[in-house]
Structure formats: structure tokens, C-alpha cells
């Protein structure tokens, strides 16, 4: 329910209003009716004030627009050219074609008498003039004779460069082999059981020295991986069983004969310029 004095909503079982302190012991319906009547009265009292405020806003806007129009007409337009600006904005009224007065400069009658026309002269009175003489042709002046310049001397023909035929590079003839294939194999196998003699080693050519020196390593199990000549030779031997790719490992297996024979073969290769 509502308080009949201040119009605030309060619990239905309230005895006094918690907002204004008025007693609520009377009929609750009457209190609510009184509160509603009070609210309506307040709204009616506020309505005239709202209407008055709207009217004030409309009147103020109208006054502002009138002042702006007066400013444009009496201040802005005269500063921009006055009539010229108004003439560009306002339509120009023109007179009807029937009311337009004739142009004085075009249709004004003059009092000056017209000049008398000069009669054309008769044919007999026209003086006969001789035709002009033709112009004398002007011949161009003769050109000066051209001076003949002597022809430049002919350069002597170039001397042919003699062709130099390079001499063919002689193909080195391999030294004759001392051993046959079988004899060479037997000789290198003996290197692990006896000492070679200098007189024997000096007779070998470069190929035989290489086979005998590397045969000492092959007998100790060295595997050849890059030299195609050694690979083709030793892999055809029945006694060749490679088990290492390290030359140091194979050399550590040399006996006393192999070590001495290796030094002898190396010295002979140096003497022959092979190392």
C-alpha cells in the first residue's frame, strides 16, 4: 500500500509511514487512493512548467534564426558586393519583347545627308598602263674549282707472321721391365724372408719399384682403396688378405727384412727422382 500523506510505498501491515511518520491505522484502501490523488496532483502541477519550458526554447530558436538572417542581409551581402551578389541570387525580371525600346545607337536616325555615289569611270577614261617588265634572271656565280687533294699513301701490306709449328712432346718410353709378372711376384714375396741387394733393386723400373714397395705392406694386410693400379694387381693374388686400411698398422707388422728392404727401395726411388 501507499502512504496517503507522502505517496511512498510501504508494507501492507505497517502502522506508521517509514518516510514521513504519518499514522496508517485507517483504511488501507483510502490511504492508497489518497496517495494516488496526491501523485496526480503533483503531475498536473509539473505539466505547466514543462509546457512553458518548451515554448521558451521555440521562441529562443526563432529569435536566433531572425538575428542570423538579419546579419546575412545587412552585413555579409554588402561586404560581398551588394547588388551583384543579390543579382546572382534573386531572379532578374526582364521586360517583354514588345515593350523593349529600340536601341538608339542602332535605330537612331541621323540628319546627315547620304554621300552621293561616285559614278564609275568610262572605259575610255581608264588609263592604260604598260605591263611590268619581266625580272632579269640572276645567274649564280660560277663555283670555284675544287682543289684536288693528293691521295693518301697506300700502307704497305702487313708482313705475314711465320707460323710456328710446335714440336711434338715426346712420349716418355717406359723403362724395360726387369721381371716378368710371375718373376716380380716371386721377388716381392722374397722381401719378407731375405735382404734385397742394391744391384737387384737398381735394375727395376718405376712400376716394379712401386709394386715391390707396396707388396711389403700388402703382405702385412694393408687394404688399398684409392690407387687403381695397386687394387687391380694385389686383388688378383691368392695370398692377399687385407684387414686394415692404416699404413701404420700394417708397418707395425713388418719383420726385420721388410724394414731394411723398405728403406733400400725408398733410397733407390729418390736416386731415380721418383719421390
198-224: pLDDT as tens digits: 999 999 999 999 999 999 999 999 999
In angstroms, rounded to a whole number, what is the distance separating the alpha carbons of residues 105 and 107?
A: 6
In the predicted structure, residue 168 carries a pLDDT above the cut 90: no
In the predicted structure, residue 175 carries a pLDDT above the cut 90: no
Say yes or no: domain 181-271 is CATH 1.20.58.1690. yes
Instruction: Pick 232 or 25 by higher pLDDT.
Output: 232
In angstroms, rounded to a whole number, what is the distance separating the alpha carbons of residues 177 and 66?
A: 134
In the predicted structure, residue 95 carries a pLDDT above the cut 90: no
Mean pLDDT of 141-150: 65
In the predicted structure, residue 148 carries a pLDDT above the cut 90: no
Grid coordinates 545607337 are at which residue? Answer: 105
**pLDDT of res. 108:** 43
Kindly state the percentage of the chain with pLDDT values over 90: 35
Mean pLDDT of 14-20: 81
In angstroms, rounded to a whole number, what is the distance separating the alpha carbons of residues 61 and 55?
A: 10
**pLDDT of res. 107:** 43
**Grid coordinates given for 49:** 512548467
Grid coordinates 737398381 are at which residue? Answer: 202
* pTM (2 d.p.): 0.38
**Grid coordinates given for 72:** 546575412
Q: How many CA atoms lie within 13 A of 83 on its CB side?
A: 1
Mean pLDDT of 1-5: 77
What confidence tier does 181 reach under pLDDT thresholds 50, 70, 90?
confident
Instruction: Pick 254 or 103 by higher pLDDT.
Output: 254
Mean pLDDT of 140-153: 67
Instruction: Pick 57 or 126 by higher pLDDT.
Output: 57
Which of 147, 199, 210, 149 is CA-nearest to residue 175?
210
Mean pLDDT of 124-146: 65
**pLDDT of res. 80:** 75
CA distances from 115 to 86, 112, 118 (A): 50, 9, 9
Range from 35-44, 92-101, 227-236 that averages highest in pLDDT: 227-236
Mean pLDDT of 243-266: 95
What confidence tier does 42 reach under pLDDT thresholds 50, 70, 90?
low
Range from 49-58, 114-123, 241-250 that averages highest in pLDDT: 241-250
Question: What ranges in 15-27 are assigned the alpha helix state H?
Answer: none
**pLDDT of res. 193:** 94
SS3 222: strand
Amino acid at each position: 500500500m501507499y502512504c496517503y500523506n507522502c505517496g511512498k510505498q510501504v508494507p501492507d501491515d505497517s502502522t506508521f509511514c517509514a518516510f514521513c511518520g504519518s499514522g496508517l491505522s485507517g483504511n488501507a484502501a483510502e490511504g492508497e487512493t489518497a496517495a494516488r490523488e496526491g501523485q496526480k496532483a503533483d503531475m498536473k502541477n509539473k505539466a505547466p512548467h514543462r509546457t512553458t519550458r518548451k515554448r521558451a526554447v521555440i521562441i529562443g530558436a526563432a529569435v536566433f534564426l531572425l538575428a542570423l538572417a538579419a546579419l546575412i542581409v545587412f552585413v555579409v551581402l554588402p561586404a560581398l558586393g551588394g547588388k551583384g551578389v543579390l543579382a546572382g541570387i534573386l531572379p532578374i525580371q526582364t521586360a517583354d519583347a514588345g515593350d523593349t525600346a529600340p536601341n538608339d545607337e542602332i535605330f537612331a536616325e541621323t540628319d546627315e545627308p547620304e554621300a552621293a555615289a561616285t559614278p564609275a569611270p568610262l572605259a575610255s577614261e581608264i588609263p592604260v598602263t604598260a605591263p611590268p617588265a619581266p625580272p632579269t634572271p640572276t645567274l649564280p656565280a660560277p663555283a670555284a674549282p675544287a682543289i684536288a687533294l693528293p691521295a693518301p699513301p697506300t700502307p704497305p701490306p702487313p708482313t705475314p707472321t711465320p707460323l710456328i709449328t710446335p714440336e711434338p712432346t715426346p712420349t716418355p718410353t717406359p723403362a724395360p721391365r726387369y721381371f716378368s709378372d710371375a718373376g716380380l711376384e716371386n721377388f716381392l714375396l722374397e722381401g719378407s724372408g731375405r735382404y734385397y741387394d742394391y744391384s737387384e733393386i737398381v735394375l727395376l723400373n718405376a712400376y716394379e719399384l712401386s709394386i715391390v714397395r707396396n707388396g711389403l705392406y700388402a703382405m702385412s694386410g694393408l687394404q688399398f682403396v684409392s690407387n687403381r693400379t695397386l687394387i687391380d694387381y694385389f686383388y688378383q693374388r691368392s695370398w692377399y688378405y687385407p684387414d686394415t686400411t692404416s699404413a701404420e698398422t700394417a708397418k707395425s707388422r713388418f719383420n726385420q727384412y721388410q724394414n731394411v728392404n723398405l728403406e733400400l727401395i725408398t733410397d733407390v726411388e729418390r736416386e731415380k727422382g721418383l719421390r
